[in-house]
């Protein structure tokens, strides 16, 4: 299996990556299930951070679609490695609503990242507001 973590910037007019989440969720949920892809999509301000993992073929197909998706730009790959076990058992996404406190958000993130390697956690923490 292959695991990729990347970040990118939304191209939406509002400049908020979370505004794209409903459409992405609709497309990605069913599709990832069929493709054997699991992961975590995180939106904060104008940035996306996504960890995806699954069979090599599904992963190359998904990366090609992501690279051609005009809803984001400046896709930068942070991690691209071969794994024997999944770090994310489910396909989920997380984003902070403007009304949610950073502490409450941090609690939710901590639950989702339980059992994930320190290196992977570091990438998600790096995107968090101070």
Ligand X SMILES: Cc1cc2nc3c(=O)[nH]c(=O)nc-3n(C[C@H](O)[C@H](O)[C@H](O)COP(=O)(O)O)c2cc1C
Residues forming contacts to ligand X in the complex (CB under 6 A) are: 24, 27-28, 31-32, 41, 48, 50, 52, 62, 65-66, 69, 71-72
Nearest approach, Cβ of 40 to ligand X (angstroms)? 10
Query: Minimum CB separation from ligand X for residue 30, in Å?
Result: 8
Nearest to ligand X of 47, 121 (CB atom): 47
- Packing angle between helix 56-67 and helix 21-35, nearest 10 degrees? 160
Neighbours of 115 (CB within 10 A): 9
Q: Is 56 left (phi over 0), alpha (psi -120 to 50) or beta?
A: alpha
DSSP type of residue 14: T
Beta carbon of residue 28, minimum distance to ligand X (angstroms, whole number): 3
Contacts of 118 (CB under 8 A, 6+ apart): none
For residues 39 and 109, which CB has a smaller minimum distance to ligand X in the complex?
39
User: Which residue, 37 or 109, is less far from ligand X as judged by CB?
Assistant: 37
Nearer of residues 67 and 107 to ligand X, judged by Cβ:
67
Which alpha helices (H) appear in 2-117, and where do they start and end?
Answer: 21-35, 56-67, 102-112
Query: How far is it, in rounded angstroms, from Cα 98 to Cα 114?
Result: 24
Q: Please state the closest distance from residue 87 (CB atom) to ligand X, in A.
A: 15
């Amino acid at each position: 299996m292959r695991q990729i973590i990347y970040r990118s910037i939304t191209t939406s007019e509002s400049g908020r990556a979370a505004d794209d989440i409903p459409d992405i969720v609709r497309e990605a949920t069913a599709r990832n299930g069929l493709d054997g892809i699991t992961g975590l999509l995180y939106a904060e301000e104008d940035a996306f951070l996504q960890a995806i993992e699954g069979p090599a073929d599904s992963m190359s197909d998904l990366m090609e679609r992501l690279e051609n998706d005009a809803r984001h730009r400046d896709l930068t790959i942070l991690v691209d490695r071969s794994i024997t076990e999944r770090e994310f058992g489910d396909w989920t996404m997380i984003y902070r609503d403007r009304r949610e406190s950073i502490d409450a958000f941090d609690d939710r993130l901590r639950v989702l990242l339980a059992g994930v390697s320190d290196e992977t956690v570091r990438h998600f923490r790096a995107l968090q507001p101070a």
